[in-house]
């Protein structure tokens, strides 16, 4: 059964966060959460949000600043008037769902929440692209959100990106304008 977004609670990782019950099939993701995430957050290297369902830790995602080479994205994305070689980006550096809750929509909700955070941050600092280094076989998960494979070479992951600014512009064109009398 899918879990509705409004039944999830998101909170920042803190010293008081109980992480011991969390487990996913990827030991690297488990170890990062338990051993490194808090230190990275305290040192302002990354920011981790925990996802709770009825008080149970069911997932987490970590965001970091990033950039992506302009020639790594397709011609329809980005802005050709932007003269820098790299676009400012925020990376979903880690994303994991508790093994007992996979297939219930939590991963989708965490990507939605991460995107919402990025959109809010972009009002304060330039950021147009969301990046992720998808683990092998996880590319279709990100593609359903509009992520595309970047033109870049990495050994163990697939670099992907999402030009959310273009997406927001396309959505605003589809929505009917609101009249001032409504």
DSSP 3-state of 35: helix
Read off the pLDDT band of 77 (50, 70, 90): confident
Handedness of CA 137, 151, 132, 118 (dihedral sign): negative
Q: In whole angstroms, what is the distance from residue 37 CA to residue 50 CA? A: 11
> b vs e for 116-128, b when ≥16 Cβ sit within 10 Å of the residue's Cβ?
ebbeeebeeeebb
d(CA 11, CA 131): 22
Q: Rounded to two decimals, what is the model's pTM? A: 0.89
- Cα dihedral: 17, 18, 21, 25 (round 10): 30
Q: Is the pLDDT of residue 175 over 70?
A: no
CA–CA distance, 50 with 98 (Å, rounded to integer)? 11
Q: What is the mean pLDDT of the chain?
A: 90
Domain regions of the chain by residue span: 5-173
For 5-173, CATH gives: 3.40.630.30
H or E element in which residue 6 lies: none
Looking at 132-136, 165-169, 178-182, which range is the least confident one? 178-182
Q: What is the DSSP letter of 5?
A: G
Q: Which helix (H) or strand (E) holds 83?
A: none
The predicted pLDDT at position 166 comes to 76
Diameter of the chain by CA atoms?
Answer: 56
Q: Give the pLDDT confidence score for residue 154 in this predicted structure.
A: 74
Phi, psi of 176 (to 5 degrees): -70, 145
Neighbouring CB atoms inside 10 A of 26's CB total 13
Least confident of 6-15, 42-51, 98-107, 147-156: 147-156
């Amino acid at each position: 059964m899918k879990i509705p977004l409004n039944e999830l609670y998101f909170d920042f990782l803190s010293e008081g966060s109980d992480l011991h019950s969390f487990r996913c099939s990827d030991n690297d993701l488990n170890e990062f959460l338990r051993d490194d995430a808090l230190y990275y957050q305290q040192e302002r290297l990354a920011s981790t949000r925990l996802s709770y369902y009825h008080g149970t830790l069911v997932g987490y995602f970590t965001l970091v600043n990033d950039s992506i080479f302009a020639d790594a994205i397709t011609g329809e994305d980005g802005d050709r008037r932007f003269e820098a070689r790299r676009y400012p980006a925020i990376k979903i550096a880690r994303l994991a769902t508790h093994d007992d809750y996979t297939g219930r929509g939590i991963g989708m909700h965490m990507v939605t929440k991460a995107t919402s955070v990025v959109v809010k941050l972009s009002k304060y600092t330039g950021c147009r692209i969301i990046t992720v280094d998808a683990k092998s076989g996880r590319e279709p998960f990100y593609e359903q959100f509009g992520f595309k494979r970047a033109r870049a070479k990495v050994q163990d992951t697939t670099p992907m990106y999402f030009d959310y600014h273009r997406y927001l512009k396309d959505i605003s064109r589809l929505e009917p304008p609101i009249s001032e009398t409504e």
